Amino acid sequence: MNIFLTGASGYIGGSVAVHFLENGFSVRGLVRTEEKASLVRARGVEPVIGSLDDGALLKREAIAADAVVNTASADHRPAVEAFLEALSGSGKTFLHTSGSSIVGQRDQGRYRDVEFDEDTPFEPSPARMARVALNRDILASTENGICPVIIAPSLIYGAGLGVNPDSMQVPWLIDLARCTGGARHIGPGTNVWSNVHIQDLVGLYFMALNHAPAGAFYYAENGESTMCDVCGAISEMLDFGGETVEMPVSEAAEHWGEGPANDTMGSNSRVRAVRARNELGWAPSAPSLIEEIKSGCYAVA
């Protein structure tokens, strides 16, 4: 199978590309620069230099490919619309990456007792309304002869398999702890995020590409942790004694930006990957988030 993949030099996209290549697929990957092109080429990806704003390029690549996998952005509507236009009537798979923060609210680091599986209705926060609307439009493209599939990962951890080895949330917390001399979380840190290891996640992409029915939406998770527990593990790993420090959202925003602080790091995102397990037989088995922090790739780094 010939895949066109966006975000080929990114954490998710690079890892997915390597997994696809190891399983016999060929991958053409979108990258922004010649430097990134050289890096992905060295891993077996045929680079395509361009951006999500180049609709004509995206359409050409989609028409030539057997399937399209978008890992570059969960929110770039023009790119998605270009893909859907090019794929209309083809029966090809368009595998899009969303994220479990769609169920989150601005909880300022406080626990919220609510869980979601793929069939649980929810009202998105203002910050995620556009993403949820885009997801809805993607899934509706079944009516235009496309096989759309969406994967919404939760907090992803572990060493990436491609050019970029680093995810977002855990490295952010580790870097902040190193800079300030203490593992810090927003508010009490009782907010909870489901999480998934990158090795398990790439397996889900492969299974979904091969077996998911048109219009399928999958959360990706294998457990959950409070931010306080995550920071406690980071504190132990860095020999800070396991102690953690509260910080206000305003301070977090100085480090990560207002949106990420409120809509990611301070929110709850408790999802259950019921459909992936039941429909695809996905069986994640990688080490837990806490294990990976204390004795896995983060401890080694």
Q: What is the pLDDT of residue 300?
A: 82
**Percentage of residues of the chain with pLDDT beyond 90:** 99
Cα gap 28→45, rounded to integer Å: 6
What's the whole-number mean pLDDT along residues 271-293? Answer: 98
Q: What is the pLDDT of residue 241?
A: 96
pTM for this entry: 0.97
Mean pLDDT, the chain, integer: 98
Q: What is the pLDDT of residue 228?
A: 98
Is residue 118 within 8 A of residue 275, CB to CB? The reply is: yes
Residue 270 has pLDDT above 90, yes or no: yes
Q: What would the two tokens of residue 47 be?
A: 């680079």
Helix, strand or coil, per DSSP, at residue 269: strand
Q: What is the pLDDT of residue 243?
A: 97
Is residue 56 within 8 A of residue 240, CB to CB? The reply is: no
Residue 100 has pLDDT above 80, yes or no: yes
**Percentage of residues of the chain with pLDDT beyond 70:** 100
Residue 225 has pLDDT above 80, yes or no: yes
What's the whole-number mean pLDDT along residues 140-146? Answer: 98
Residue-wise pLDDT for 2-53, tens only, equals 999 999 999 999 999 999 999 999 999 999 999 999 999 999 999 999 999 9
Is residue 289 within 8 A of residue 201, CB to CB? The reply is: no
DSSP state of 220: E
Q: What is the pLDDT of residue 301?
A: 72
Residue 73 has pLDDT above 80, yes or no: yes
Q: What would the two tokens of residue 236 be?
A: 């132990």
Residue-wise pLDDT for 241-258, tens only, equals 999 999 999 999 999 999
Mind giving me the DSSP string for 36-72?
Answer: HHHHHHTTT-EEEE--TT-HHHHHHHHHHSSEEEE-S
What's the whole-number mean pLDDT along residues 291-296? Answer: 97
Q: How close are the terminal C-alpha atoms of the chain, in Å?
A: 35
Q: What would the two tokens of residue 165 be?
A: 């080895």
Place of tokens 């489901």: 194
What are 135's strand-pairing partners? none
Cα gap 199→218, rounded to integer Å: 16
Residues in CB range of 136: below 8 A, 6 or more apart: none
Residue-wise pLDDT for 168-190, tens only, equals 999 999 999 999 999 999 999 99
